[in-house]
Chain A
Amino acid sequence: MDFASQFVQQLINGISLGSIYALIALGYTMIYGIIKLINFAHGDIYMVGAYIGFFAITMIHVSIVPALLISMVVTGLLGMLVERLAYKPLRQAPRISVLITAIGVSFFLEYTSMYFVSPTPRTFPAVFDNVSLHFGSFMVNGQQLLIFGITFILMVVLTYIVQKTKIGKAMRAVSFDVETAQLMGIDADRVISITFGIGSALAAAAGVLVGVYYNSIDPLMGIMPGLKAFVAAVLGGIGILPGAMAGGLILGVIEALVSGFISSTFRDAAAFAILILVLLFKPSGLLGKNTREKV
């Protein structure tokens, strides 16, 4: 394979991986935007989403799209429940308390899942025959097409919800200024809960897609992608939705190029080097405004 086609191939792989990061990063950034919490349990929500998709396919024998929807709904509700039980009581508490609670929730989800599904990785069932499209010397496989398609649809739907619908306007209002949003008659607690629901549903979609892509899921699978998605959210500008989308894709592509051309050993190092560079040179992220601090 010559350099150009290998580059294109890595680009395709990178966009697949990046789409997954982007879907998780969206939840991170939405939740940060609305209650200024880095929800460290978000990666584990993604793991739960993968398992729910797995059980939907293996136990109730649905195909991939219904499995995806079931997983999004159930995981979305789980995200709302976590918010209600773990974070809502801390609304007036210092931010550090909520952050520590998020880490606690993360461990809770990891090890409770381990108790129920065992720590052994499960093989995610093949959801369709291994099709792949060949374009000259590079190829796109069916799983990658599924990831592109689902991610694209979810991003369009999310953008529509946030920009055009009443609940979307309420989400933007609460994230800009909670107090004033309440003076508009917005029930901020309800909006926060819905934001957790939507963010968790997106993570669930990512979880199911990863299962399809890598064929293997386990209870600790959320840790690394969770951290990577956090890097992606910071890279794009935390709290900014298009930033999370762009950050996820860029991170995925960089990781693929590093593993393809240098060594896959350096893949994770590259991701965290990006985090350090962003924090050093543009802490507000690629799409963030550098100086504007809300008062």
Chain B
Amino acid sequence: MGTMLQIDDINVYYGAIHAIKGISLKVDQGEIVTLIGANGAGKSTTLRTISGLLKPKSGKITFEGKNIAGLPAHAIVKAGISQVPEGRRIFANMTVQENLDLGAYARQDTDGVAKDLKVVFERFPRLLERKNQEAGTLSGGEQQMLAMGRALMSRPRLLLLDEPSMGLAPLLIKEIFSIIQDINQTGTTILLVEQNANMALSIANRAYVLETGRITLSGEAQKLAASEDVRKAYLGG
């Protein structure tokens, strides 16, 4: 399997704060890769840099052979990367249907969009039930599903997920994670950022551990889950 996303030694600043200090990582086609680490370690910053919301000061981001570092966010969506942002960020004042339409904004293939809308509604039947409802009236779990459905509407080859478990009940977290696995099995490569390291490692192929803007550990998810250091720091013993 080929490398889909390759990040080489990127540095990202928030104003004067050096948030990402020379991170390199890669995601192979078909994988689920997870970034875990404490709050403020730079996980979200890394995703936001890949999706073009932040520009790296130096370093390379290569997606399917093209350097995408510094491209505007809307161009990166067109290139085939879609992000489910932290906190879901649905358009609360628009209907569920309009949110999904916006997910397909960059596409011109009307037939393909209609087909993908069907697929999203099959995967998330509750969105179909509520498609004319204002998105702000959905429950937290439904909003997460909408944010995921919306991201899938651009038909991404790489899906970036930022804290999909945030604020959800344990049962719902399980459901969301099994949907993530399912999305992966139908051919979408996934880069997942999570504070819930247990859950993330349980579905990922490989993982990177971030600490204050640097990668401190990386490897197969199962091995990391078994490692003493990781257990102590991130898995509660």
Residues of chain A at the chain B interface (Cβ within 8 Å): 166, 169-170, 172-173, 176-177, 179-188
B102, A169: Cβ atoms closer than 8 Å: yes
Convert B104-119 into 0s and 1s, putting 1 for each residue whose CB lies closer than 8 angstroms to a CB of A.
0111000000000000
B53, A166: Cβ atoms closer than 8 Å: no
The answer for the CA separation of A123 and B237 in the assembled complex, in Å, is: 84
Chain B's closest residue to A163 (CB) is: B98
The answer for the CA separation of A149 and B83 in the assembled complex, in Å, is: 46
Q: A183-B53, A186-B74 are in contact. Are A177 and B102 (CB under 8 A)?
A: no
B72, A183: Cβ atoms closer than 8 Å: no
Cβ of B30 within 8 Å of any chain A Cβ, yes or no, is no
A187, B72: Cβ atoms closer than 8 Å: yes
Give min CB distance, B161 to chain A, whole Å: 12
B103, A180: Cβ atoms closer than 8 Å: no
Name the A residues within 8 Å of B101 (CB-CB). Answer: 166, 169
- The listed residue with most B CB atoms (<10 A of its CB), out of A177, A183, A186, is A183
Cβ of B222 within 8 Å of any chain A Cβ, yes or no, is no
The answer for the CA separation of A127 and B14 in the assembled complex, in Å, is: 58
B103, A182: Cβ atoms closer than 8 Å: no
Cβ of B85 within 8 Å of any chain A Cβ, yes or no, is yes
Give min CB distance, A267 to chain B, whole Å: 36
Give min CB distance, B197 to chain A, whole Å: 25
The answer for the CA separation of A172 and B105 in the assembled complex, in Å, is: 13
The answer for the CA separation of A177 and B87 in the assembled complex, in Å, is: 13
Give min CB distance, B176 to chain A, whole Å: 19
Q: A185-B105, A185-B106 are in contact. Are A173 and B91 (CB under 8 A)?
A: yes
- The listed residue with most A CB atoms (<10 A of its CB), out of B78, B82, B102, B107, is B102
Cβ of B52 within 8 Å of any chain A Cβ, yes or no, is yes
Name the B residues within 8 Å of A169 (CB-CB). Answer: 94, 98, 101-102, 105
Given known contacts A169-B101, A170-B105, A181-B102, what 11 new A-B pairs fall within 8 Å (CB)?
Answer: A166-B105, A169-B102, A169-B105, A173-B102, A179-B73, A179-B85, A182-B53, A182-B72, A182-B73, A183-B73, A184-B77
Give min CB distance, B50 to chain A, whole Å: 11
B105, A176: Cβ atoms closer than 8 Å: no
Chain B's closest residue to A180 (CB) is: B89
A176, B91: Cβ atoms closer than 8 Å: yes
The 6 closest A-B pairs by CB, nearest first: A185-B106, A185-B77, A182-B73, A180-B89, A184-B102, A187-B74
Give min CB distance, A206 to chain B, whole Å: 27
Name the A residues within 8 Å of B150 (CB-CB). Answer: 184
How many interface residues does B have (CB within 8 Å)? 26
Name the B residues within 8 Å of A173 (CB-CB). Answer: 91, 94, 102
Convert B159-178 into 0s and 1s, putting 1 for each residue whose CB lies closer than 8 angstroms to a CB of A.
00000000000000000000
B154, A185: Cβ atoms closer than 8 Å: yes
B93, A184: Cβ atoms closer than 8 Å: no
The answer for the CA separation of A1 and B91 in the assembled complex, in Å, is: 54
From the candidates A166, A176, A177, A185, name the one contacting B74 in the complex (CB within 8 A).
A185
Give min CB distance, A108 to chain B, whole Å: 30
Q: A169-B102, A177-B89 are in contact. Are A182 and B74 (CB under 8 A)?
A: yes
Give min CB distance, B96 to chain A, whole Å: 13
Identify which of residues 62-96 in chain B touch chain A, using a CB-to-CB cut-off of 8 Å: 72-74, 77-78, 82-83, 85, 89, 91-94
The answer for the CA separation of A183 and B87 in the assembled complex, in Å, is: 14
B51, A180: Cβ atoms closer than 8 Å: no
The answer for the CA separation of A32 and B72 in the assembled complex, in Å, is: 24
Chain B's closest residue to A172 (CB) is: B94
Name the B residues within 8 Å of A186 (CB-CB). Answer: 74, 102, 105-106
B85, A184: Cβ atoms closer than 8 Å: no
A184, B103: Cβ atoms closer than 8 Å: yes
The answer for the CA separation of A174 and B92 in the assembled complex, in Å, is: 13
Convert B124-156 into 0s and 1s, putting 1 for each residue whose CB lies closer than 8 angstroms to a CB of A.
000000000000000000000000001100100
Name the A residues within 8 Å of B53 (CB-CB). Answer: 179, 182-183
Name the B residues within 8 Å of A180 (CB-CB). Answer: 85, 89, 91
The answer for the CA separation of A185 and B105 in the assembled complex, in Å, is: 6
Name the B residues within 8 Å of A185 (CB-CB). Answer: 74, 77-78, 105-107, 154
The answer for the CA separation of A179 and B53 in the assembled complex, in Å, is: 7
The answer for the CA separation of A176 and B77 in the assembled complex, in Å, is: 19
The answer for the CA separation of A176 and B92 in the assembled complex, in Å, is: 8
From the candidates A166, A183, A187, A188, name the one contacting B51 in the complex (CB within 8 A).
A183
Name the B residues within 8 Å of A170 (CB-CB). Answer: 102, 105
Give min CB distance, A185 to chain B, whole Å: 3
From the candidates A177, A183, A188, name the one contacting B83 in the complex (CB within 8 A).
A183
Name the B residues within 8 Å of A176 (CB-CB). Answer: 91-94
Name the A residues within 8 Å of B91 (CB-CB). Answer: 172-173, 176-177, 180
The answer for the CA separation of A107 and B77 in the assembled complex, in Å, is: 41
